[in-house]
Chain A
Amino acid sequence: MAKRIDVSGLTAYYGSHKAIEDISMTVEPRSVTAFIGPSGCGKSTFLRTLNRMHEVTSGGRVEGKVLLDDEDLYGPGIDPVSVRREVGMVFQRPNPFPTMSIFDNVAAGLRLNGSYKKSELQDVVEKSLKGANLWNEVKDRLNKPGSGLSGGQQQRLCIARAIAVEPKVLLMDEPCSALDPISTLAIEDLIGELKERFTIVIVTHNMQQAARVSDRTAFFNLAAVGQPGKLIEIDDTERIFSNPSVQATEDYISGRFG
């Protein structure tokens, strides 16, 4: 079910501004890969090229290849809408649909994909909420609005919504940066469980978090403000945090910048 991501020579622009340049990497299925690096280094931009969300921003365009197993996401005739159904995404700020109930939020993606019987929907919603470790907290109020939950619960609701459509890959853009430490821990535990089923890529500013949850870590950096961000290195997380092969990585991790 989970798929391998194979990126080669990827460059992304905002209008005429080159945001990231010539990035190549492989992400193995059923693993967690963390992206770290200073603000503005393009790690979020790179993440958004992996489900073709980058081009939603006006002026956003991409050169290069992103293979999901053997299929090029940027190949001719590929519909970005169908790409996003295969590659799910969780955002920095929890964004459940404010006008929908908890149940409808989780069912939203399924309803896009076609008609389901009420009982089928109920099964998937329950399974997804259990998968997001949220079921016990919300099972008695599935018809209440999702915006009534706490921040951490909302984020897990968004994860439930994303995994309900059974994506091959799950992208997470700083999913814990708006959450308190307890909610963060809950999400991190959840990531550990989800990697049994999905390929997970997570952007984080929190290096301890990268060390805790990921199997592989990629370090991004930019030469100067206005310059495009680049991938400095990607390696096993243990190695990145103990003995990275590039000096810049070690400087960043140990808190000595530039």
Chain B
Amino acid sequence: MDISTQSTQSPLPTPQPPPTEQRRAARGATRPGDRIFLGLSRGSGILLLVIMAAIAVFLTYRAVLAISEDEGNFLTTFEWNTNTVPPVFGIAVLAFGTIVSSIIAMVIAVPIAVAIALFLTHYAPRRLRGPIAYVIDLLAAVPSIVYGLWGAMVLVPHLTGLFGWLDAYLGWTGIFSWEGGAPRSMFTVGILLAIMILPIITNVSREVFRQVPQMHEEAALALGATRWEVIRMAVIPFGRSGVISASMLGLGRALGETMAVATVLSPDFIIHGSLLNPGGGTFAQNIASKFSEATEFGRDALIASGLVLFVITLLVNGAARAIIARRKEYSGANA
């Protein structure tokens, strides 16, 4: 509004628009090929928006149907009973499980991924860099159900020892106490997710670290910096926003991971203070396990939980962008 009033009050004469033919020529849309391409690309863009809007409207509509029937509080109820009359269900356990397992995955994966990326770009001998990077790429190509099967058959049996150790030495903190159930807990899920998101964080970080301009590293070297000090002064600060973006890509995958979580977790609508006791659940895992046997109403309820996951993902991405924007004037992009 402000802008339009300002422009009408502007004392400057508005420039005459050029004749129509000239404008058309300038846009380059007179030739048949250009017109067809313009129509196609504009049509595709509009179609995409229409599909997105249709999906959003459909999901929101179904979600509202379910939530309006919910006898419990949708956000705080620790149950998921959609077949009872009246239905009682809530996402508290799912939200907790999704966020906690993703945080565990990030805490484990990000430092390791950054360390691998730095090793590959600054320490590894040249002829080892290619093969190691290739193996990491292969890890990214493994389907998630394969990770899930490996997790259930190999990882879970081997975690008993680790869980016992954590309980013995860190059990006093509460979050690492263990009552001796099967090691199919949020912590197990976190470890598996960490392995799954490691490749993407490593690969993106490696690209970012590789793009640090030679002149910044030489500036540090010329001041008498050791290799580690060069990394601390020039490489990591330059790559920080890239590593944050990489972590967000990984986090996105961890938040939405379905099959692998469903395979290793013993789901239960309960929130433990300890990360090691079995039980809990995540949005995606809950939808996958319940969807095929759910009633029409049950599906609506699951869709509602899916919408919450979507909102959480949006919030996380927004937070990441804010972090990157806050440091913008110090970013390496100004170099």
| Stretch of A60-68, A93-101, A197-205, A224-232 at the chain-chain interface | A93-101
In the complex with contacts A98-B238, A99-B330, A100-B237, A109-B335 CB distance below 8 A = no
Q: How many A-B residue pairs have CB under 8 A?
A: 81
B141 CB-CB contact with A under 8 Å: no
Q: Mark A158-169, 1 if CB is under 8 A from B, else 0.
A: 100110010000
B240 CB-CB contact with A under 8 Å: yes
Does the CB pair B330–A100 fall under 8 Å?
Answer: yes
Q: Which residues of A contact B216 (CB under 8 A)?
A: 95, 97-98
| Stretch of B26-34, B150-158, B218-226 at the chain-chain interface | B218-226
Does the CB pair B335–A98 fall under 8 Å?
Answer: yes
The B interface, classified by DSSP as helix, strand, loop or mixed, is helix
Does the CB pair B224–A85 fall under 8 Å?
Answer: yes
Which residue of chain B has its CB nearest to the CB of A58? B126
In the complex with contacts A112-B229, A148-B329, A161-B334 CB distance below 8 A = no
User: Once bound together, how far apart are the Cα atoms of A244 and B239, in whole Å?
Assistant: 51
In the complex with contacts A97-B233, A98-B330, A147-B334, A82-B224 CB distance below 8 A = yes
B162 CB-CB contact with A under 8 Å: no
Q: Mark B124-156, 1 if CB is under 8 A from A, else 0.
A: 001000000000000000000000000000000
Which residue of chain B has its CB nearest to the CB of A56? B221
Q: Mark B313-335, 1 if CB is under 8 A from A, else 0.
A: 00000000000000001111011
CB distance from A215 to the nearest CB of B (A): 24
Which residue of chain A has its CB nearest to the CB of B227? A81
User: Once bound together, how far apart are the Cα atoms of A148 and B330, in whole Å?
Assistant: 9
A186 CB-CB contact with B under 8 Å: no
Does the CB pair A99–B221 fall under 8 Å?
Answer: no
In the complex with contacts A91-B215, A93-B215, A98-B331 CB distance below 8 A = yes
Does the CB pair A98–B332 fall under 8 Å?
Answer: yes
Q: Which residues of A contact B240 (CB under 8 A)?
A: 99
Q: Which residues of A contact B275 (CB under 8 A)?
A: none
User: Once bound together, how far apart are the Cα atoms of A51 and B216, in whole Å?
Assistant: 17
In the complex with contacts A93-B215, A95-B216, A51-B222 CB distance below 8 A = yes
B197 CB-CB contact with A under 8 Å: no
Number of interface residues of B (CB under 8 A): 25
User: Once bound together, how far apart are the Cα atoms of A165 and B219, in whole Å?
Assistant: 13
A89 CB-CB contact with B under 8 Å: yes
User: Once bound together, how far apart are the Cα atoms of A158 and B216, in whole Å?
Assistant: 11
User: Once bound together, how far apart are the Cα atoms of A53 and B335, in whole Å?
Assistant: 22
A88 CB-CB contact with B under 8 Å: yes
Q: Indicate the size class of the contact surface on chain A.
A: 20 to 34
Which of B215, B220, B223, B329 is close to A165, meaning CB atoms less than 8 Å apart?
A: B223
Q: Which residues of B contact A148 (CB under 8 A)?
A: 329, 334
A108 CB-CB contact with B under 8 Å: yes
Does the CB pair B218–A53 fall under 8 Å?
Answer: yes
Q: Which residues of A contact B224 (CB under 8 A)?
A: 81-85, 109, 112-113, 165
A145 CB-CB contact with B under 8 Å: yes
Which residue of chain B has its CB nearest to the CB of A171? B222
Which residue of chain B has its CB nearest to the CB of A167? B224
B234 CB-CB contact with A under 8 Å: yes
Q: Which residues of B contact A100 (CB under 8 A)?
A: 237, 330
Q: Which residues of A contact B330 (CB under 8 A)?
A: 98-101, 145
CB distance from A199 to the nearest CB of B (A): 16
Which residue of chain A has its CB nearest to the CB of B327? A99
Does the CB pair B222–A162 fall under 8 Å?
Answer: yes
Does the CB pair A162–B334 fall under 8 Å?
Answer: no
CB distance from A56 to the nearest CB of B (A): 6
Does the CB pair A81–B226 fall under 8 Å?
Answer: yes
Which residue of chain A has its CB nearest to the CB of B229? A112
Add 5 more A-B contacts to A91-B215, A98-B332 (CB < 8 A): A53-B222, A88-B222, A99-B238, A112-B233, A162-B223
Sort A-B residue pairs by CB-CB distance and give the 10 closest, nearest first: A85-B224, A99-B237, A89-B222, A109-B223, A147-B334, A95-B215, A98-B335, A84-B224, A95-B219, A99-B330
A–B pairs, 6, beta carbons within 8 Å: A88-B222, A95-B215, A95-B218, A97-B216, A98-B216, A98-B331
Q: List A residues at the B interface (Cβ < 8 Å).
A: 51, 53, 56, 58, 81-85, 88-89, 91, 93, 95-101, 108-109, 112-113, 144-145, 147-148, 158, 161-162, 165
